[in-house]
Structure 1
């Protein structure tokens, strides 16, 4: 496959470089050429100078030529405003004084000054017109200089002369053009990359359905190939994860059969020979394995696609049975459960999965609390915030980010002695993620652990709050 991305970058910057170089080399010549006099026009002006040179009465000849070369009709108003000073031709002597000793007009005076720096220049451009000259001629033993004003054709070089007088504008135009070209190239290249970045972040956050969109796929260069490779990788990752979860579920089902036989055999042996320490130990371990299998199956179902529908419900109503069961367990553990739920909070839930997630977290909090567990739910902007706080010993900060990893355990009082398997929080994490929410754990300043769940509220709740 040709390296089209390389070619885009190369030719883009190459074009900008060539354009700027051409502007630097060509524009000064264009500006200089704008001040050159057309050969035919120059010949005409020389002819006018010879006419003055051959004349017997210079003053009358000048007036006759001024009448003959008078400006067009549409310029008469401008000449009237200038009080007749804008004659088409003007003659000065060797001392730069007019024929009748009159004051030299400003434009002619400026042309004479510029001639000192550029003696070969024969055209001078000003705001409203241009001046041709000087054209030397002899008359009566004296040397005169002829200047001819150009009222009608000043627009021919007005822009170029303006650029010549303001070189910083040329530089600004070149910079703007190059910035626009480079900006378009950067936008063209970065647009699909940003799209791929969003897809990669979604995949990293656990959304196995994330894929590169059509924007990136329609590019026929390395970026388009990268998008296709990303989709192939995402397909493989989703297939492996789903296969792993199905295998986990299948293994759990297969283990349940011999486990059931073991429990049955243990029960028969106890009935025949009575209880002893070894049989009680076997029963305890089989119950632990059975609980772990149930949680593995729940984790597998929560990770794979679930066909259970979402339904809108009031959160207080949703929590009634969960809080009642939690109060009973808290009473048995001699722990106080304080419940605070704001009214009129409507959420969209998969009933079983979210109920199981919150039950697991509350049960953990009761198990590790010393005296009290606080459950609260309130609205924050467009989200429902749920806090479950216990006053236990908490968790080392190094372990907080891994609490929701399956089978992850910490080497504190939160160990297997409490009956945990390391799967409850993982199941809760998957359930919350399915509800497009987030779950985090943090230590309290006074001791203990806080688990915070954030869930999106329905539009009905958001509208009523507004």
Structure 2
């Protein structure tokens, strides 16, 4: 947020600077060089003396008055041949001098003007140029005045912009806090800005969006409650009915059909449990944070696996330490990865954990066929399976990896897949230490 307004401030300053140069060049093209105009104003006394005292002398007295001015003035006046003076000027300045105009040389603090055009001052005066040097021209002071003028204009523009930006920045900060709180699970967080705020339209739409999301989450919670009571109840009745049917059936041929129906019910019950678990993770209800020792928790997770004897464990109690989080959720994610590795591995499964820099990395590897690079992100999608021909015997609904990723994400971590040195897939859980 600070970066945004810093860039805005820099942009405004650059715009003011560009406008200053644009004004200078526009005035130069339309009305002449502003520095020359400043020099004319500063040398106005000398110009006035030349035009209203020396030039007003009667015929043949022009040089007498010029000499009198030379005696009392600090400005040096000298007469130059017209051709020599023109050779030192640009073509535009030389043309102006030829017409009888006054040419200012700001850098030299001097001006040049022909004595006259018709030779009325003295014999040969039409071929002479009067050069006045050492004029009281102070361009540095003039530039400081111009800079002060532009600085006052810039300040007059920046003050209201700064006041508006401050109010805008505070509103954006408030919106950012609301977004952070809402993303952390506080669904009741709202901006509630006054209509006079500069970002009120955005805040109003964010509040409407938050209201809609909260309503959807409430509807999801209501659906979870309904599913847990309304769907599981008929499943339980069907299971009870099948038990009664098994006890009452005299025909041995019905036994395989009853067993198949019981397997279908168990699969349906497991699927509902997985869906409910996914929904609880999405709604943020499942998190119960508290510090726990990671190494013993991982050992207990491995011991709870049906084929724990196949799992090689490589962890150290001293290096892992404690982790602040929901141990049940995190171990559920690890268990899902272990079950996936046991299902597709050829015989070897390995679980390792270590601290690497500022993170804890838990790795689950197998020696199975691995996962193609193009499929490594899609395997975390719900109901996505690499093996499209999965039969009932293989088990699974394509939700285990999706649940694992969501559980790790709730802890601020991430899950990714890469190749394992065992030959199969290597799932990495990276958690902030």
Q: How does 1:41-440 map to 2 (within 5 A)?
A: 42-46=47-51, 47-51=53-57, 54-55=60-61, 58=64, 64-70=68-74, 88-92=76-80, 110=88, 116-119=94-97, 120-136=100-116, 141-143=123-125, 144-155=128-139, 225-226=201-202, 228-244=204-220, 246-273=222-249, 276-306=255-285, 308-326=287-305, 329-331=307-309, 336-341=310-315, 343-345=318-320, 346-395=322-371, 399-412=375-388, 415-440=391-416
Using the TM superposition, name which of 136-145 and 117-126 deviates more. Answer: 136-145
Counterpart-to-counterpart distance in 1, 2:184 and 2:406: 11
SS in 2 for 1:403: helix
Long gaps (5+) in structure 2: 1-11, 145-149
SS in 1 for 2:307: helix
- Name the count of aligned residue pairs: 380
The offset of 1:362, in angstroms, is 0.9
The offset of 1:366, in angstroms, is 1.2
Counterpart-to-counterpart distance in 1, 2:385 and 2:62: 119
SS in 2 for 1:257: helix
Counterpart-to-counterpart distance in 2, 1:52 and 1:145: 19
SS in 2 for 1:370: coil
Conservation of the 8 A alpha-carbon contact between 1:373 and 1:391: yes
Conservation of the 8 A alpha-carbon contact between 2:302 and 2:308: no
Residue deviations 1:4-61, cap 9 Å, x none?
xxxxxxxx9x999999886554332141762768887544203224559654985xx6
Counterpart-to-counterpart distance in 1, 2:102 and 2:48: 13
TM-score (normalizing by structure 1): 0.65
SS in 1 for 2:292: strand
The offset of 1:310, in angstroms, is 1.6
Counterpart-to-counterpart distance in 1, 2:90 and 2:428: 85
The offset of 1:383, in angstroms, is 2.1
User: In 2 relative to 1, CA 112–89 (structure 1 residues): closer, same or farther, beyond 3 Å?
Assistant: farther
The offset of 1:329, in angstroms, is 1.9
Using the TM superposition, name which of 345-354 and 399-408 deviates more. Answer: 399-408
User: In 2 relative to 1, CA 372–44 (structure 1 residues): closer, same or farther, beyond 3 Å?
Assistant: same
The offset of 1:324, in angstroms, is 2.0
Conservation of the 8 A alpha-carbon contact between 1:384 and 1:456: yes
TM-score (normalizing by structure 2): 0.69
Counterpart-to-counterpart distance in 2, 1:258 and 1:57: 126
The offset of 1:372, in angstroms, is 0.4
User: In 2 relative to 1, CA 430–253 (structure 1 residues): closer, same or farther, beyond 3 Å?
Assistant: farther
SS in 2 for 1:153: coil
Long gaps (5+) in structure 1: 1-11, 71-86, 97-106, 161-172, 458-466
Conservation of the 8 A alpha-carbon contact between 2:110 and 2:131: no
Counterpart-to-counterpart distance in 2, 1:23 and 1:339: 77
Counterpart-to-counterpart distance in 2, 1:282 and 1:213: 50
Counterpart-to-counterpart distance in 2, 1:415 and 1:51: 121
